[in-house]
Structure formats: C-alpha cells, structure tokens
Structure 1
C-alpha cells in the first residue's frame, strides 16, 4: 500500500483490525451523536461520513483526515480528527505534511462555527484555543511516528538477523568445504598410496608364486585393491568438487550466473547493457564479484532501495557500474570493515584496472569497475 508520503506501507492483517475498527467507529459515533442537536442536515451527513471513513483509514489515511476536517470545524468532536491524525502519522513518512495536517486540524477545531459569528473580540480566545488544540494534535502525530519507527526498527533488525544467519551458513559451508578438501588430500596422499602398494605387491606375488592357491589369493587381493583404488579416486574427486578444490573453470562464477545472482538478491534490480563474449574468466569473475558485493551492501546499508546494474563496453575498456537509490526506510548504523570494497579494488589492480566507490548526489551509493579489454596475448589472471 502507498501512504500519503509516497512510501510503501505494509498492510496489517484485516482480521485483527476488524475489532479495533468497530470499537473506534462506535466511539466516534457516540462522540458525534452527543452533538447532533446542534447540527444541520448537511453537517450531520458530513460528520457521519467522517465516522464511517475511519474503517478505511489504513488504506487512505490522507483522504480520511481531510474528511475529518469538516467534523472538527462544525463541532468539538475529538475521536474522528485525532484518530485520523494518528493513522496518517503512523502510515505516512512526509513530516512536513504531518506538520501541515496537525496545524489544519487545530485550526479547524479552534475556529468558531459558523464563521459569520466570528468577531474581533474572539481573536484572542481563538488563538489560545488554537495553541492548546495544536498541542493536543501533536500527541497522536508523535505517537504515530513512534509506532512507525518501532515497526521499521523491528523490520530492519529482522533483515539484519537474516543477513547474519546467511553469513553463518556461508561460514559453516566454508569450514565444511575446507574439511572435505583436507580429507580428500589425506585420502589421495595416504590411503590411495597404500592401496596402490598393496595392488603392486599382490601382482608381484601372483607372478612369483609357485602353487595355485597362492596365485589365486594374490589375484583376488590385487583385484580387490584395484577396485578399492578406483572407488577411492571417485570419492576423492567428489570431495574435492564439494570442497571447492576443483580446477574446472565452470566452478567459478561467470557472466552467465549474473542473472541468477540478481534474481536471488532480494532487491529490486534493473540490469542494463551487456559485455562482449570472450573477455576471459578473470574479467568475468571480477564483474560478478563487484555486482555481488554491491548488492550485498545495498541490502545491509540501504533498506528499501533499488539498484541499477549497468554492463558497459567502450573501445578498449569494459566494466560494470552499480548504483542504488537512497534508502526508503530508517538505516541502522552497523559496523563495517569495508574489506569487501578493498578486495574489489585489489582485484581490479591485479587486472590492470581501477575500482571506484562513493555516494551519489541524490543520496544513494555507486560503485564502478573499469578494466582494460583483454587481448588474445594477455595472460593476466585474477
């Protein structure tokens, strides 16, 4: 749902909101009903409409508040304007609009009605009433903003906890991968070597033995040793692959994996441009890691922001630019070592390129990777 300030606001469960809406509308109806004797038919209809509009105040907070102003002007009703102000403050993010609405509510309640009866002698007391009513209108505004800040903090903490859990899983996977790689090395260097010696000795015994039973036993031992050695080699290959020790280029991220990275980032990302084929695995990995680190930082430090990933190729240079918009939700100050950005800069230098990162004029953040176009003779690796 989009609130008055133009920001997306989560809609709470309708089932839980129904009892609160019923009680609030009932209180507003009682508040208005106590003053019906002083209303004209038009004023009664507008006041009743303002009470009924409280049901949809979460979906249309600004419209409901504007509808409450006539009720505040016609009489001294309290529930309708204060409820409308609270909902607008709890849903909206434009503080200037909230100040204007609080002043409008206090002014509508302070002005005498009908306006034709307003005299010069009423100015002082009207001003006094306006000051007190403005202080009263500020209370639901502050309360609504407090509830909104609490909700934003809870959502942000949930995102931080989710990111930490993801990092813990990655760390656990890294530890497991290193253990598997170490186990693969031990199996290859020790176990496989010993089984190979058994097979060689069994073969020698099979050739040199004189009696039939010994040759048969040696043949069986050699056959089992060869089978065991094949199975060990297969297990070592699997452990190396799962442990990240495979030397196959396909195990490293490439530009073909960029779309999946963007789709699973949890951020609204626009991908533009493309890079020529054949730029080399080091350059592809550098582009991938730059986009990966940039989107990770957007999620951690710019909640609610959108990002644009632009792949570009100009003459003898190529690279990627990632720019995000300012955050739309409050940002919690989190510790950061900037190791990721430093690593991207070092990777770019290894490829004879450059890396830049910094805030944008509109309050967002941008990173840019610049690499020379690899040539057929280039042997640079990264």
Structure 2
C-alpha cells in the first residue's frame, strides 16, 4: 500500500514538473519577444517588408517550440545526455531555457563529467548563433558562470544523495551482519544446552546403569539356583541394552541437525546378529561394540525378555510385513511395543498382554511400492494396581510426538477388559532389494 502510494506521488510530481516548466518556458518566450520588440532586436511586422516577415516568422514560432523542451524531460532519466543537448538547442530557438536548466541540473546530479561541459558549450554556441542579441565576452562569461553554478549545485545534490544511499546500504549490511551474529549466538547457545543435557544424562544415568549391570553380573555368578541366575542375567543384559540406547540418545543430542545425524548414521555401520535382542551389543567393522538397531525384527526378542521377567504376552505379527518397511516406521513400531509392554508391567502387574501388528492399504503399484498403513496394538486385561511412578505419562507424550512426526496417530485408553494402546503410521513401501544385474549371490 505504501509502495503504491509512493509511486503515484512520484508520477504526480513528474507531471507537475513538466507542466510548470512548459508554462514557464512559454511565458519566458513571450517576454523575450516583447523585450526584443521594445529593444529593436525583433522586427516589427507592420514596418517591414518580405525579409522582415520571414525573420518575424522565426520569432512567431518560438512560443510553439517552448513546450517541447518540457516534453523532452519525460525521458530525462533514460537519456539524460540527449535530453540536455536537445533542450539546449530548443532553448535558443524558443527564446527560453527553463527546460535546459532542469536537464543540466539532473545531468550534473547523475555524474559530473565532460558531458556536462560539452552540453554547456553547446548551449552557449546555440545562443550565440540563434539568440536575439549578439553575444560579447561579458555575456558569455555571465552565461558560463550561471551554467557552472547550476552544474555545481546538481553535482553537490547528487553527491549527497549517493552518500546517503551508501550510508543506508552500510546500515543495512550492518543490520544483516548483526542478525547473522545473533542467529549464530542462538545456535551456539542451543548446541551448548544440548551438550549440557547430554553431559547431565551421562553423569546421572550411565553410572547408575553401570552399577546395576555390575551388581547383576555378581549376582549371576553367586546365584544359589538356576532361576535366580537367569533373572540376574536378564537384568545385566537389560542394563547393557539401556546403556547402549542411552549412548544413542547422547549421540543425537551432540549432532547439529539432520545432516550431521545422517552422517553419524552413515559412519556407524551396524552388523546384524542372529537372534539378537534389542539393544544387545554387536561388533562393528572397526571392532568397536555398538548397540544393535531397534526395529520390527527385534520385537520378538523384546517380548521374550518380558516373558522371562514374568509378563504373559502374545505376539501376532502380520505375515505380509517384510523388509520393505521404512527404517523410521520400523523403529517407531518397536518403541510403541516397548512403551506398551513397559506400561503393562508397571501399571497392570499380572495381566495378560497381546501385541498385534497389521498392515492395511493399497496393493503394490507398477514401481513395486505402495501406500499402506501400519497398525500397532498393545492391549492387556485387568491386572493388579501399582503406585503412581514419578514421570508417569511422559513416555506416552514422547511416543505420540514420534508417531505424529511420521504422519500417524496414537490413541490410548481403558477398554471394557483392560487397557489398549493403538498407533497408526502411514508409510510407502520400499521396493524389495534385489540382486543387481551382472552379480551372483
């Protein structure tokens, strides 16, 4: 709105300038002719013959030529040199000169160079040849002084405008640099906070979990019976798995954005272990021990651990659920089952649980990929009551955020027979990985 108003005001100012200059040149032309009649430089039509009549015609058309200089100012910005030269000649022919003064001022304002001197010389020469009076050196000197003053004023105004524009550009650049530094400071503070959180988590949790693992290992060695030894072994493996997942979380906190996370994932090569349990350590290509990835393939091992811990859970996977499930969806499904079974153990002790994984949606298209939806249901019957634990409900909040990031939904609540957790995650099937042409398995 302000921009449109500024453009309209600028056009109105240009029209007003041209109109005022045209009127002023016409009036100056009539005044010059009248003064010439009184001074004898313009012949009287009633006293002259044929030659005087022709000379009179030259002065008669002068008022008609006077507005043309103002019209030429329309192109003053596009062709400043040509307009200045044309108005200098028109000014001498029309016995006026306001349009030339404006054109010379604007030309000097743009740039003070030899073109300004050339236009001034052209104007003086045209006045000497076409003017009503002979030009002596005094009049020429006065004309040079007047035109020089106009050019100097235009150059001064142009220099001030360029200086002001340079200052504005410098202020804008400084503001951009300040904004960039502020954004960098904010990013640095954010990364520092993430690193602080990572250090706090490591200091508070890693020591505790390591202590649990050591005590469980000692209990396994000194166990009085096989059942106690199995429970101690399960505690030790669970503690090791928790440490591996904690290191994964700390690695994510140390990453700066998705690109760094992808680079870290590419640098950490996982080697699947047959019948590996979720989070159990596996050796990489560099010989270091890392936690195995958590996905749909690790759900049976997770549920087996809970069965050994005393939770009765049935698992009913979809037989059509193959390797074409995206990694992010597979991990989310694992987390849904993990959170659901954990809640069963914490809040419904002794209840029977059931885990179902189902896929729904369109069949494969011509490219080998189809749009489907993965449905994960964790339900349980009635069980014993437990005291509320600190932070209860936060796991479901974080799980809901994870599912929503994948475009899915998470619902949970009591049913007529117990409690149910249900997640629906849409996904596009990945084409099955086949053997490249020209290779043998």
TM-score by length of 2: 0.42
Rg larger for? 2
TM-score by length of 1: 0.48
Whose RCO is larger (CA < 8 A, sep 6+)? 1
